[in-house]
Structure 1
């Protein structure tokens, strides 16, 4: 898209206006879902109440946690080859996921009555958050962008994925290995389901991690995707839907502090946990196809990186230098370097995420 389409000042939203619109949209959506499911917002199995308890808890906690992270000198180090406009963000506290993920999980566990499905999905989410924390901490301690090695990250992701699959194998019905598609279609995978399930967890956590590069982007689109997933599974998996609502709320609450201009970043702690939560619920609720639709933003972000790297390697000349398919990957950086402001990128991605959620709901 051409940046000229967004040239007017009225089409350059502020971070605060995007937060208000995101909060309003998520609230109206959750109220609508409670209405069609016959649940009043005050009832235990509603989505609106746990969503807003989580959102307000994280938003309030952030006013203490952000200064605490600043005092720890947990500042973000900005890659020099990134967009030059991002260099001024150097020193902004990162690792904000430490006060987001535990709050959402704690509220979800209590609200769901410590359902076994929620416990398992929470453990997976915490595992990815813990791995992300190790990565963030190494970057802070080493005062660089180098955290865990890619090999170590992949090894841990696969290990967590296998453990979660072991729980699925022991606790879920045999039908879990069949992927349900729209219009009554289905794909029976049998044993092939299990490597796919591990791949989904690895791919989802990496994709959400790559999306976390613009203020409010990953948290906002994650909140929308999680609520969309809650809408799909509420009738059949009510406790997992509550988990999704709580996690959606905690990421919404984080946007209060992460909106442009961000006072804190979620870091790998929050972004990898987001992918783990989505993948865990998608697998436990047998909703892989809807999850794929809901994760459209994250999928495109990941594909843009893969395409950039592949094209660069394929076009290497004798001098060892290749051509670039995009100005910079992931694609949100390409849009920035094409003239979009950060808030324009976030606004468009929020709209796309909402449309994908509606599409997934229609095709369920």
Structure 2
């Protein structure tokens, strides 16, 4: 039987997010930190211009505050906090430059990648120095009986997994409530698994659940605030870190299938466009825009992707 203390971090982070968002949103309005919409994006998104962005600051602040309090007696939480906050800070820089310069492009690609590599290096070093056993990862659909000891390959594996997950989360943040809802379901998967395994990272999963539930109140269609790169990059960092701390980074392909689909759709679209000198496979990428332009309402796309994530998380449990 679960102790009520397990749910306390979720409750506290939910309450803090619900309190802070109504305070922070008017400040963003006053500072004219409104969303820029790409000219080549769907026409239906033009109405989103001016909607406050950088709401991820609230998410990041709540997650960090509650996380640090919980981590005072549970050091396993620090790698999760590090990767979440580290990527959230990169997203903050990106968002701030966009808003300060009044343009749709923030950090240059090489700047963003360079910062992401630095954060990932610190995360990999922290794991190898303090939790070397995490280099042994569980292989899906083996009942936990097959474990890969990556050894020297662990570091490059961390880079591919973390950067792929973070950028997948970033591409997923394109519709009202989409990244929030998808990641909320993934966080619930982590919470159930970590509680069952008796892992302390259940606290960070619970904190993220509470934070996302609170933020979803203001981020669901029609959104009153967007999370921006501050939020989406932080979410990707959280998912990657939580998976590594539970020895299940290979499961990200399953439970975060939407992240994978989003980033693959962009890669396929760009590659095909270049190879065929202008032809496209999708009406628009990332793939959620393809569904929009195919006649699906924005809310239906979000619901559909959420249902897919629930199904994939069930498959994730079967794969354990």
TM-score, normalised to structure 1's length? 0.84
From 158, 161, 175, the equivalent of 1:197 is 158
From 343, 349, 358, the equivalent of 2:305 is 349
Could you tell me which runs of 5 or more consecutive residues in structure 2 were left unpaired when the two chains were aligned. none
Aligned to 1:73: 32
Pick closer, same or farther for the CA change 1:55–1:310 going to 2, 3 Å. Answer: same
Deviation at 1:50, TM superposition (A): 2.3
Question: Structure 1: how far apart are the matches of 2:228 and 2:245?
Answer: 26
Cα contact 2:127–2:134 (8 A) shared by 1: no
Aligned to 2:316: 360
Worse-matched range after superposition: 116-125 or 86-95:
116-125
Cα contact 2:136–2:147 (8 A) shared by 1: no
Cα contact 1:105–1:243 (8 A) shared by 2: no
From 280, 300, 311, the equivalent of 2:272 is 311
Q: What secondary structure, in the 3-state scheme, does the structure 2 residue paired with 1:207 have?
A: helix
Question: Structure 2: how far apart are the matches of 1:115 and 1:241?
Answer: 11
From 223, 246, 253, the equivalent of 2:184 is 223
Q: What secondary structure, in the 3-state scheme, does the structure 2 residue paired with 1:234 have?
A: helix
From 122, 130, 135, the equivalent of 2:94 is 135
Aligned to 1:50: 9
Aligned to 1:336: 292
Cα contact 1:301–1:331 (8 A) shared by 2: yes
Deviation at 1:353, TM superposition (A): 1.1
Cα contact 1:237–1:285 (8 A) shared by 2: no
Q: CA RMSD in A?
A: 1.5
Worse-matched range after superposition: 262-271 or 197-206:
197-206
Question: Structure 1, residues 146-183: CA drift from partner, whole Å, max 9, x if none?
Answer: 10011111111111111110011111134624443322
Question: Are 1:258 and 2:219 matched, yes or no?
Answer: yes
Question: Structure 1, residues 90-132: CA drift from partner, whole Å, max 9, x if none?
Answer: 0111000101122023223323544222122212211111100
Q: Which of 1 and 2 has greater Rg?
A: 1
Deviation at 1:55, TM superposition (A): 1.9
Cα contact 2:10–2:208 (8 A) shared by 1: yes
Could you tell me which runs of 5 or more consecutive residues in structure 1 were left unpaired when the two chains were aligned. 1-37, 317-321
Q: How do residues 1-364 of structure 1 correspond to structure 2 at under 5 angstroms?
A: 38-40=1-3, 42=4, 44=5, 46=6, 48-174=7-133, 176-183=135-142, 184-316=145-277, 322-364=278-320
Cα contact 1:131–1:153 (8 A) shared by 2: yes
Question: Structure 2: how far apart are the matches of 1:292 and 1:172?
Answer: 23
Residue correspondences, number: 318
TM-score, normalised to structure 2's length? 0.95
Question: Structure 1: how far apart are the matches of 2:223 and 2:77?
Answer: 31
